[in-house]
Structure 1
Amino acid sequence: MKYLARTIDGTPLLGDDDGYVPLAAAMPELTAVRDALALAAAGTLPDLDTVPAARIDPAHIQFGPPLAEFGKLWGIGLNYADHAGDLDEQRPDEPASFMKPESALTGPGGPIRLPPIEQTDGVTAEAELAVLIGRSCRNIDIETTADVIAGYLPVIDMTAEDILRRNPRFLTRAKSFDSFLVVGPAIAVPEEPLALEELTVRTIVNEQVAAANEIRNMLFPPAELVSFHSDVMTLEPGDLISTGTPGAEPISPGDHVSAAVESIGTVDAPVVR
């Protein structure tokens, strides 16, 4: 696995399982992680063993969001049948997608800032696998989505469930408060085909697993979501599709939330008000 990331002060990084080097040391012509997304989608990121720079242990790096600016932020609701059942919802026969504003996004470590109680007193946290687009595409077949996916990252999605339950048309508001999307510290770029269906996504609150499920149990797997949404609009580098959660957990100030996606990574954040 290779990784694309940025430090908290914005220095672009390229990594592998042994550590990170400055992206400029590997590819001097690139000045930003976004510039490397097409190479990630094409599988042509350089081997770090050929880079004349010592790897830095990730334990010694303070990570910021992996992109300075993301593009469109798509979310998918009810994408695991078990989760739909928990919410007493019928399983959808096509992706139940919604969009979030970029202002909802925050970097690894958060914090997740709950809105005033007068606005909502029923926020839940949900671990999800997110897909990041690396090349512009439109009307792409499921079989060729690997050519446009730069990589994957864990995210924590939040929902003001009490607002949503009042009226399903309030979904955008329920999903759009500041800090209601925490992105992982690194974009995981598989070096060979990855058996995504075998991986498990876990929602963890206060070190307790609140929900877990395998990606194979998604109603609409990641490749299908990319293809489906490319029929709706042009997908562009930096667009993110968060693929749905195995389960949500209510959160309160003082809690600590993690999204763990097997083989991809983990992101965590404290909860404050």
Structure 2
Amino acid sequence: MKLLRYGRKGSEKPGILDAAGRVRDLSAEVPDLSGRWLTPEGLAEIAALDLGLLPEVAEPGRLGSCVAGVGKFICVGLNYADHAAETGAPIPQEPILFMKATSAITGPNDPVIIPRGSTKTDWEVELGVVIGREARYVTQADAMNHVAGYCLVNDVSERAFQTERGGQWTKGKSADSFGPIGPWLVTRDEVADPQNLSMWLTVDGVQRQNGSTKTMIFPVDMLVSYISQFMSLQPGDVISTGTPPGVGMGLKPEPQYLKPGQTIRLGIEGLGEQTQITEAAA
């Protein structure tokens, strides 16, 4: 299934794509795409619905984040060997974890707001993993049973805030609009192999990232298991699993960063696409 949320910010309704790619309204059956509706039982109830009986949404308009009520937005740093190389960082021996504020979450096509004082706002196409069953001390062999599905994430980052202002990475990752998620939550049964998905990103039509999840250092099942050793994972939590090379800070002969009025487009095979226009903070 491809699940989505549409409507004005703060008033989104849950929806689902039918076989013809039309949006069907789920709001009479499902309050929102959060919590128990992301569990195996909740997803089974949605899958059992006759989509032909659900109202068609002819003009869905704005899409919101495909997951509501995200409790934790957990990110993995330097999870692609070639991306680590372009940043001059060593290959991590264990996953590097940091948190992104949930207030950064926006719809897939909402504007990216460049923060006040920013000089190094950057892009990162990433595979998002949505948790569907509580995970606490799970094994790698059992980890995928705790995954509801996958989504596209742009882990927008301000590199000066991240690396030049002291402390941890979180403050360079958490500005409002720095977490576009969607367009869809694609359930796990529709993704045959999360470690073999092509991914790309362009800025103003110029290809910047062109990679594959097959080059991850730590795969999805390992990440879910690993993170669950340090904190419980709850339905609706999102893990953003790292980015391939081609980010602005790694470009040669010199880095390039986002300016107001630019267009970012990105996609992952089977998970849809996003388009964002950059704006300066008011």
Q: TM-score, normalised by structure 2?
A: 0.86
**Pairing 1:11–2:13 present:** yes
**Cα shift readout 1:213-247 (whole Å, capped 9, x = no counterpart):** 11110001111111110111110011000000113
1:78 corresponds to: 78
Matches within 5 A, 1:206-245: 206-245=204-243
Give ranges in structure 1 of 5+ residues lacking alignment.
none
Contact 2:23 2:60 in 1 (8 A): no
Aligned in 2, Cα 1:222/1:40: closer, same or farther, shift over 3 Å? farther
Aligned match of 1:23: 26
Question: Any idea what SS the aligned residue of 2:23 has?
Answer: strand
1:4 deviation in Å?
1.5
Matched, 1:253 2:246: no
1:23 Cα deviation from its structure 2 partner:
1.9
- The residue type paired with residue 122 of structure 2 is T
Unaligned stretches of 5+ residues in structure 2: 249-256
The aligned amino acid for 2:269 is: E
What SS does the corresponding residue of 2:236 show, helix, strand or coil? coil
More moved, 184-193 vs 37-46:
37-46
Of 173-182 and 235-244, the range deviating more from structure 2:
173-182
CA RMSD of aligned residues (A): 2.2
Corresponding residue pairs, total: 266
Q: Is the 8 A contact 1:65 1:183 kept in 2?
A: yes
**CA pair 192-270 structure 1, distance change in 2 beyond 3 A:** closer
The more displaced of 187-196 and 251-260 is 187-196
Question: Partner amino acid for 2:118?
Answer: T
In the alignment, what sits opposite 1:267? 274
Cα displacement (A) at 1:123: 1.0
CA deviation map 1:32-60 (0-9, x unaligned): 21242013787664256564236556x75
Residue in 2 that maps onto 1:129: 127
Identical pairs, percent: 30
State the match for 1:175 in structure 2: 173
Conserved? CA contact 2:37–2:43, under 8 Å: no
> In the alignment, is residue 185 of structure 1 matched against residue 183 of structure 2?
yes
Bigger share in strand: 1
- Corresponding position: 1:38 with 2:39: yes
Cα offset for 1:146?
2.2
Indicate if the aligned counterparts of 1:127 and 1:258 stay in contact, CA closer than 8 A: no
Question: What is the CA–CA distance in structure 2 between the aligned matches of 1:148 and 1:44, rounded to whole Å?
Answer: 17
Distance of aligned partners of 1:31 and 1:166 in 2 relative to their CA distance in 1, 3 Å threshold: closer
When normalised by structure 1's length, the TM-score is 0.89
